[in-house]
Structure 1
Amino acid sequence: MNNAVAEPEGSRLQKAVETIVMTPAAAAKVVDGYRVTFEDKNERKPESLEDKRRIAAKIIGRYSKMSAAAGAATAAPSVIPGVGTAVAILGGGATDVAVALKLQVDMCMCLVEVFETELSTEDKKHLAFTIALAGSAEQMASKGGKAAVQKIAQKLVYQYLTGPALVTIKQLFKRVSITFTQKAMAKAIPAGVGVAFSSSTNYVLTRVVGRVAVAVLAKDVK
């Protein structure tokens, strides 16, 4: 029993998230739907950087709303696929975190597909995980404003992208797990308040991660 408990929280969280996130192929199908809608409305293909930004904004809006709905996390497994699997792996403890990260990685997987269609499947996954985790960790750890957090998170993403993929992702999961655990302990007050706070936090956090992703993928280096 002690060995099971002693398993690093970051490793368990990583296992849960990697089990329930969408595949690059699934992300490609989602993005294809947005491209078709864009073509129908504008009578042309979304080829310019500005066109891609417009599609990205729709994707960020969608996942931010889904993330807000997941604020009451585990109560809605039919709404957010993978909740049951996350509970089984994590025992319910960090399920909210796993579901929030799943949606952010899913969003980043779609955003990578919008901007970087030529990358290999593995490179798309690495990029999506790195952007989502680095952006999320920085936002949760920071006490600064959104603009400052975005810039710091962008630099963090570039920094992590230069390292070995598997080591990078493992390190990020560890950092995210520690940061979210500290935040959860700090706000462990009434349940109703926690749910409301979690919902709004998830929404804002997902939008910030989305903006960081677009800045990185559109190569807005500042």
Structure 2
Amino acid sequence: MDHATDEPEASRLQKVVEGIAITPEAAAKLVGGYRATFEAKFKREPESLEDKRRVANKIVGRYSKLSAAAGAVTAVPSVIPGVGTAVAVLGGGVTDIAAALKLQIDMCMCLVEVYETEMSAEDKKHLAFTIALAGSAEQMATKGGKAAVQKIAEKLVYQYLRGPALVTIKQLFKRASITFTQKAAAKAIPAGVGVAFSSSTNYVLTTVVGKVAVAVLAKDVK
């Protein structure tokens, strides 16, 4: 693949996704609603890891369903606020990538809010983008069963976050753009996790990215 054409597409994808992704402040407000629902049901704040996991599971379920609903590009503008902009700027199949990444980043932004409330808004954003992008890209590039793919993605995302050579957001957008495009072009769906941008595969991919994010944020990566 010609890297001269890769970079502009990855840069455009990054600009659009960053423009339509949820803000840390909006994520905090959304998570506040989930915490209030939890408190009303259990008569306590969700402070333990198990309580946080309950809240996180609700968030992952919500975004997985949204991702499934956005499987068809024709439905995207009406399903996901802001993606009409992506359609106008990007067009074609890249809009599907933008929609998928936007929802996964939004989900991870909310999950970061569940587990890392004391971080600055900028740190929350960086953490959410890194987990979502790395989690997605690694799944696309990994072969094997879903459980194995998830474990590999968890370890690699953790390395991206904790290792000495931190992968930048720009590099991750480039990796995601190339990997997603290659898989979509080849119509490859390895282990039921690959990208065909359909309702079912979007749901599975978003669910697994959510599980990877929860494992990393809960420090449950083995």
Give the C-alpha shift of residue 163 in structure 1: 5.7
Q: Return the alpha-carbon distance in structure 1 between the equivalents of residues 127 and 165 of structure 2.
A: 12
Greater shift, 53-62 or 85-94, is seen at 85-94
Give the C-alpha shift of residue 43 in structure 1: 1.0
Q: Return the alpha-carbon distance in structure 1 between the equivalents of residues 122 and 76 of structure 2.
A: 30
Distance 1:86 1:51, change over 3 A: same
Q: Return the alpha-carbon distance in structure 1 between the equivalents of residues 21 and 73 of structure 2.
A: 16
Q: Return the alpha-carbon distance in structure 2 between the equivalents of residues 174 and 76 of structure 1.
A: 23
Q: Return the alpha-carbon distance in structure 2 between the equivalents of residues 157 and 103 of structure 1.
A: 18
Q: Return the alpha-carbon distance in structure 2 between the equivalents of residues 78 and 87 of structure 1.
A: 12
Q: Return the alpha-carbon distance in structure 2 between the equivalents of residues 196 and 134 of structure 1.
A: 19
1:82 maps to 2:68: no
- In the alignment, what sits opposite 2:210? 210
- Write out aligned runs for 1:71-220 (5 A): 71-161=71-161, 162=163, 168-187=168-187, 198-220=198-220
RMSD between aligned residues: 2.1
Note the residue ranges of structure 2 that are not aligned, 5 or more in a row: 189-194
Deviations 1:144-193 (A, max 9, x none): 1122111211122122224677x6111111111111111111129xxxxx
- In the alignment, what sits opposite 1:15? 15
Q: Return the alpha-carbon distance in structure 1 between the equivalents of residues 99 and 136 of structure 2.
A: 13
8 A Cα contact 2:67 2:203, kept in partner: yes
- In the alignment, what sits opposite 1:68? 68
The one-letter amino acid paired with 2:157 is: V
The one-letter amino acid paired with 2:217 is: L
Give the C-alpha shift of residue 196 in structure 1: 8.0
Greater shift, 83-92 or 119-128, is seen at 83-92
The one-letter amino acid paired with 1:39 is: E
Q: Return the alpha-carbon distance in structure 2 between the equivalents of residues 6 and 212 of structure 1.
A: 27
> Which of the two has greater helix per residue?
1
8 A Cα contact 1:154 1:212, kept in partner: yes
Normalised by the length of structure 2, the TM-score is 0.89
Q: Return the alpha-carbon distance in structure 2 between the equivalents of residues 106 and 55 of structure 1.
A: 15
Give the C-alpha shift of residue 76 in structure 1: 3.6
Distance 1:20 1:43, change over 3 A: same
8 A Cα contact 1:74 1:83, kept in partner: no
The one-letter amino acid paired with 2:206 is: T
- In the alignment, what sits opposite 1:44? 44
Number of aligned residue pairs: 212
Q: Return the alpha-carbon distance in structure 2 between the equivalents of residues 99 and 163 of structure 1.
A: 31
Distance 1:86 1:35, change over 3 A: same
Greater shift, 45-54 or 76-85, is seen at 76-85
Q: Return the alpha-carbon distance in structure 2 between the equivalents of residues 68 and 163 of structure 1.
A: 36
Normalised by the length of structure 1, the TM-score is 0.89
Give the C-alpha shift of residue 82 in structure 1: 1.2
